[in-house]
A and B are shown apart, each in its own frame.
Chain A
């Protein structure tokens, strides 16, 4: 029995190592490539540790592109959009879960149905409206549409449906207003859900590509994903033709490291938060 256990344990750890290696290999390879001189990159031999080590790719990519600016833009937009979304969604989600008002269910159904509408269809009307307001190519143009995000409201409502209402009832007996109850009773209870919505919103804003591609033109507001996409093409719209892999990988690594580090530091909250999307009803 014991021997069998040991064998199982060893098998488990071997499998674990294989999984970890497979998942991390592309990222490590990206870093390895980014540290090689261009001539060593296209090699028939696999060298995980660069034979000749260089930071030249990073220097070139930082010289050629305002990556730090793009990163700051991404951080700022994602940060503000997250605050906005969490506030809006916590308010609306609470009302949808706990309050009775005319048209509630049909309204909620309409909101959820928007999950199935490809964003691309909304882009042109949105752009035209923003152009009329003269806010294209500004942070506002990137932030405002995030406030209309559907998943957050959905998750908040699910969460509020699942928690007992005793505390709220008690507060109401004490004569507290709805806003007061929401602020001092409900929100403290809702921290896990708020974290989840915050993480999901931050990630999806940080990663969003299509709208910023259309809505931004200048490096002053351009976000990281849009900037990174430019490495792909050095001559007119090359398809399937990455040039200068070393530089591309250096740029990709610079873009990848902040979220990876953030994730590793916060991984417990992250994973707990993400698993909340499967909220109990």
Chain B
């Protein structure tokens, strides 16, 4: 039953007993990937971790500075802004992706002609590259002539200064992100829905369950692994949001759309403060790992809860 996260799959672990005992063969299978992984991912990441404790400016020799980069962060209003923006972005984007994605999936799961067109239309934005999405939505959200405001005007709503106002710019980017990626969560939910045996619904219907009861007591519990998966993937992606914000606003107006990853980029590259940028990335890593662990834990607890 469990999906994806290793911890959540304790049951399958026992089922797949190891098939090969010749260890050299196993290493030969793993080795090619491992070389790439060590050289291009783990190695650089460890160097990056080391940099977080230095004042390295990319050029010249790094000096060890202990935890002073991390101390500096607590006094850095830019960093705190970036942390807050990223948190707000995640807190709003993740539930929206789950709710809208699930609603779309349930809708598109109905056995009616035309649903394929619907699925394709919802998924299409996901295949676009981030810079195209950024350029396109900068134009969509243009205050005076953008399509969104033009239609709001028809509806008698005053134009929203989307990317020009620090109180709404982040929402503009959230809107863009939902449009861009909701197709992905819809497809994951569709796959999850198709795994729920129809008999369960029929049995419940015979017992006189209302559609809401079906949704609440059959769909949701059986879909919880998928919800968990979508939540985890969107949290990881949301916390690392960069491209669209960089293209659309570069963090402005003011600091209203500055995100953690953009600040990593800004500190490390634009300001040549590699050590400080690396330290911010380390903080981001710790936050993400903590969220993943808490989530995995509550998920397992929830899972055992429904099983019993």
Partners in one complex: yes
Residue A72 lies at the interface, judged by CB distance under 8 Å to chain B: no
Complex Cα spacing A260 to B22, Å: 46
Q: In the complex where A42-B145, A92-B33, A99-B26 touch, is A26 in contact with B179 (Cβ < 8 A)?
A: yes
Q: In the complex where A25-B147, A26-B147, A275-B191 touch, is A125 in contact with B48 (Cβ < 8 A)?
A: yes
CB of A23, distance to nearest CB on chain B (Å) = 5
Stretch at the interface among B66-74, B246-254, B298-306: B246-254
- Asked if residues B289 and A113 are in contact (CB atoms below 8 Å), the reply is yes
Residue B130 lies at the interface, judged by CB distance under 8 Å to chain A: yes
- Asked if residues B123 and A263 are in contact (CB atoms below 8 Å), the reply is yes
- Asked if residues A121 and B33 are in contact (CB atoms below 8 Å), the reply is no
- Asked if residues B145 and A91 are in contact (CB atoms below 8 Å), the reply is no
- Asked if residues A117 and B281 are in contact (CB atoms below 8 Å), the reply is yes
Query: Which residue of A is nearest B9, CB measured?
Result: A281
- Asked if residues A108 and B6 are in contact (CB atoms below 8 Å), the reply is yes
Complex Cα spacing A251 to B77, Å: 37
- Asked if residues B45 and A117 are in contact (CB atoms below 8 Å), the reply is yes
* Contacting residues, chain B, for A190 (C-beta < 8 A): none
* Contacting residues, chain B, for A276 (C-beta < 8 A): 191
Residue B160 lies at the interface, judged by CB distance under 8 Å to chain A: no
CB of B140, distance to nearest CB on chain A (Å) = 5
Residue B168 lies at the interface, judged by CB distance under 8 Å to chain A: no
* Contacting residues, chain B, for A20 (C-beta < 8 A): 117-118, 121
Q: In the complex where A42-B145, A120-B277, A281-B3 touch, is A26 in contact with B30 (Cβ < 8 A)?
A: no
Please classify how large the interface on chain B is, using the bins under 10, 10 to 19, 20 to 34, 35 or more: 35 or more
Instruction: Identify whether the interface residues of A are mostly helix, strand, loop, or mixed.
Output: helix
Partner of B26, one of A42, A101, A124: A101
Interface residues of A in 36-50 (CB under 8 A from B): 41-44, 46
Interface residues of B in 179-234 (CB under 8 A from A): 179, 183-184, 187-188, 190-192, 195, 225-226, 229, 233
Complex Cα spacing A280 to B281, Å: 32
Interface residues of B in 122-149 (CB under 8 A from A): 122-125, 127-132, 134-140, 142, 144-145, 147
Residue B120 lies at the interface, judged by CB distance under 8 Å to chain A: yes
Complex Cα spacing A113 to B5, Å: 11
* Contacting residues, chain B, for A23 (C-beta < 8 A): 121-122, 124-125, 179, 183
Interface residues of A in 113-142 (CB under 8 A from B): 113-126, 129
- Asked if residues A9 and B135 are in contact (CB atoms below 8 Å), the reply is no
A-B contact count (CB 8 A): 317
- Asked if residues B131 and A120 are in contact (CB atoms below 8 Å), the reply is no
Query: Which residue of A is nearest B27, CB measured?
Result: A101
Q: Interface 1/0s, chain A 194-208, versus B by CB < 8 A?
A: 000000000100110
- Asked if residues B40 and A148 are in contact (CB atoms below 8 Å), the reply is yes
- Asked if residues A92 and B34 are in contact (CB atoms below 8 Å), the reply is yes
Interface residues of A in 156-205 (CB under 8 A from B): 158, 161-162, 165, 168-169, 172, 178-179, 182, 203
Query: Which residue of B is nearest A251, CB measured?
Result: B135
- Asked if residues A209 and B43 are in contact (CB atoms below 8 Å), the reply is no
Instruction: Identify whether the interface residues of B are mostly helix, strand, loop, or mixed.
Output: helix
Residue B75 lies at the interface, judged by CB distance under 8 Å to chain A: no
Residue B167 lies at the interface, judged by CB distance under 8 Å to chain A: no
Complex Cα spacing A49 to B272, Å: 48
Complex Cα spacing A24 to B136, Å: 12
- Asked if residues A129 and B29 are in contact (CB atoms below 8 Å), the reply is no
- Asked if residues B129 and A116 are in contact (CB atoms below 8 Å), the reply is no
- Asked if residues A116 and B41 are in contact (CB atoms below 8 Å), the reply is no
* Contacting residues, chain B, for A26 (C-beta < 8 A): 125, 136-137, 140, 147, 179
Q: In the complex where A12-B112, A15-B107, A278-B226 touch, is A242 in contact with B139 (Cβ < 8 A)?
A: yes
| B→A interface (CB under 8 Å) | 1-4, 6, 8-9, 12, 16, 18-23, 25-30, 32-34, 36-37, 39-45, 47-49, 51, 58, 104, 107, 110, 112, 114-125, 127-132, 134-140, 142, 144-145, 147, 150-151, 163-164, 179, 183-184, 187-188, 190-192, 195, 225-226, 229, 233, 236, 240, 242-243, 247-250, 252-253, 260-261, 264-265, 268-269, 274, 277-278, 281-282, 284-285, 288-289, 292
Which 8 residue pairs of A and B lie closest in terms of their CB atoms, listed nearest first? A100-B18, A275-B191, A95-B29, A92-B33, A122-B44, A121-B48, A99-B26, A147-B36
Given contacts A99-B20, A209-B131, 12 further A-B contacts (CB under 8 A): A26-B125, A99-B25, A120-B264, A121-B278, A125-B48, A144-B36, A240-B164, A249-B135, A256-B128, A263-B123, A275-B191, A277-B188
A-B contact pairs, 19 of them (CB 8 A): A23-B183, A88-B32, A91-B29, A92-B29, A118-B264, A120-B264, A121-B48, A121-B278, A125-B44, A162-B12, A168-B19, A229-B247, A240-B164, A240-B253, A242-B135, A255-B129, A256-B132, A281-B1, A281-B9
| A→B interface (CB under 8 Å) | 9, 12-13, 15-16, 19-20, 23-27, 29-30, 33, 41-44, 46, 87-89, 91-92, 94-102, 104, 107-126, 129, 144-145, 147-148, 150, 153, 158, 161-162, 165, 168-169, 172, 178-179, 182, 203, 206-207, 209-210, 214, 224-226, 228-229, 231-232, 239-240, 242, 245, 248-249, 251-252, 255-256, 259-260, 262-264, 267, 270-271, 274-281
